[in-house]
């Protein structure tokens, strides 16, 4: 069955977006908006799974919209909106809670990471979060989902849920099985302090990540301090297998300079990591600091950002209402 391609992705409004969000998701969002119909959602209901101060959350939603626009999303091309403003997300999430299986959720590694050692104290929302994510995507019958590799397991669950719904309600192909679009080189940007952990907003040390709002001095300092390796840069990838921090810097450099890893190793083999770091810091400064400046500029006019969300909500709601009507009919709700 051929269906119209539709891109959907979401970003949590939990403060400063970082290089992982940028290379894993946002850059891809921007290039896709010229190829297909795209919907980009600030997933504020997802943020509630861990406690958020209301004022901070409100600010972070607008800052995420500003980050979308500053990286190049165009609200005339892409539908930009916040999740809680379209009630269909919560309604479909409930229906999918009843389709999804506890055994499936028990396998989600992100819940295990986020809940930590005392799982009894984690919110129920955090546990069923992947069902809400499936609802986000399926509410619009999205066919393609650009995400970083950390979301791959959630995407697989969304496909399982779609498949089970189609089977349970005897409606083959009703929900498409969404395809993940994961960048090849830097599917997972790692922490600058520990190359076995992903770069994340929740890691304590700010030196572990490059934030989109960092100044040139901060980027310089963070890259200089990033863990690398005392040996010289090798000429092959295999030698980097047990050196995750060094590999991470090379991967980031390869992505930002739009050069293959092989070419980077060719160019740099035999040199110290300080050489790579100087070049990487320069490239990051020229790519990231204009984005940070634009975010700060956009945040001055909050009503403009609210207007973008309002227009986006109207368009998203239009699609959602039609789909929710059909979904309710399929499951037997009057």
Binding site for ligand TYM (CB under 6 A): 8-12, 20-21, 24-25, 43, 46, 133, 136-137, 145, 147-148, 150-151, 154, 188-189, 198-200
Block residue for tokens 């929302």:
125
Cα three-residue angle 252-258-259, rounded to 5 degrees: 90
Long-range contacts of 292-296 (CB under 8 A, 24+ apart): 292/70, 292/211, 292/212, 292/213, 292/214, 292/215, 294/66, 294/69, 294/70, 295/63, 295/66, 295/67, 295/70, 295/212, 295/213, 296/213
Least CB distance to ligand TYM at residue 315 (A): 17
Identify how many contiguous H helices and E strands the chain contains and give both numbers. Answer: 14, 5
Nearer to ligand TYM, 93 or 232 (CB): 93
**Would you call 114 a catalytic residue per the annotation?**
yes
Nearer to ligand TYM, 20 or 75 (CB): 20
Q: Which residues pair with 6 in a beta bridge?
A: 37
Cα three-residue angle 31-188-48, rounded to 5 degrees: 85
Nearer to ligand TYM, 50 or 239 (CB): 50
Instruction: State which H helix or E strand residue 302 sits in.
Output: helix 302-331
Q: Which residues pair with 146 in a beta bridge?
A: 181
Least CB distance to ligand TYM at residue 13 (A): 8
User: Which residues, including other chains, have CB under 8 Å from residue 159's CB and lie 6 or more apart?
Assistant: 177, 178
Nearer to ligand TYM, 261 or 267 (CB): 261
Least CB distance to ligand TYM at residue 137 (A): 5
Block residue for tokens 């600091």:
289
Least CB distance to ligand TYM at residue 155 (A): 7
Q: Which residues pair with 181 in a beta bridge?
A: 146
Least CB distance to ligand TYM at residue 322 (A): 20
Nearer to ligand TYM, 21 or 228 (CB): 21
Nearest to 40 by CA among 147, 130, 159: 147
Task: Pick the catalytic residue from 27, 141, 198, 222.
Answer: 198
Nearer to ligand TYM, 214 or 333 (CB): 214
Least CB distance to ligand TYM at residue 9 (A): 4
Q: Which residue is nearest to ligand TYM (CB)?
A: 24
Provide the pairing of β-strand 179-181 with 37-42: unpaired
Task: Pick the catalytic residue from 152, 164, 197, 201.
Answer: 201
**Would you call 201 a catalytic residue per the annotation?**
yes
Nearest to 326 by CA among 174, 176, 178: 174
> Which residues are the active-site residues?
114, 198, 201
């Amino acid at each position: 069955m051929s269906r119209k391609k539709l891109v959907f992705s979401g970003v949590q409004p939990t403060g400063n977006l970082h290089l992982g969000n940028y290379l894993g998701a946002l850059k891809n969002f921007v290039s896709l908006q010229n190829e297909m119909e795209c919907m980009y959602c600030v997933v504020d209901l997802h943020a509630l799974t861990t406690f958020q101060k209301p004022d901070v959350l409100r600010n972070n939603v607008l800052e995420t919209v500003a980050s979308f626009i500053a990286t190049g999303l165009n609200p005339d091309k892409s539908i930009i909106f916040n999740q809680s403003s379209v009630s269909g997300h919560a309604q479909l999430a409930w229906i999918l809670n009843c389709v999804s299986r506890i055994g499936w959720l028990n396998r989600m590694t992100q819940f295990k990471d986020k809940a930590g050692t005392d799982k009894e104290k984690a919110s129920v929302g955090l546990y069923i979060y992947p069902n809400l994510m499936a609802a986000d995507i399926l509410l619009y019958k999205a066919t393609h989902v650009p995400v970083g590799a950390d979301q791959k397991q959630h995407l697989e669950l969304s496909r399982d849920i779609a498949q089970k719904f189609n089977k349970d309600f005897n409606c083959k192909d009703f929900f498409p099985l969404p395809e993940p679009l994961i960048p090849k080189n830097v599917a997972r940007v790692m922490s600058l302090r520990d190359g076995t952990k992903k770069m994340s907003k929740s890691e304590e040390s700010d030196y572990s990540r490059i934030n989109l709002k960092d100044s040139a001095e901060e980027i310089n300092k963070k890259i200089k301090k990033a863990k690398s390796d005392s040996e010289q840069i090798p000429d092959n990838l295999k030698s980097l297998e047990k050196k995750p921090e060094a590999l991470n810097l090379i991967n980031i450099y390869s992505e930002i300079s739009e050069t293959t890893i092989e070419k980077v190793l060719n160019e740099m083999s035999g040199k110290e990591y300080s050489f790579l770091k100087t070049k990487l810091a320069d490239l990051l400064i020229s790519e990231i600091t204009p984005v940070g400046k634009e975010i700060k500029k956009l945040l001055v006019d909050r009503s403009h950002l609210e207007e973008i969300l309002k227009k986006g909500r109207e368009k998203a709601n239009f699609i959602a209402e039609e789909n929710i009507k059909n979904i309710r009919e399929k499951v037997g709700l009057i």
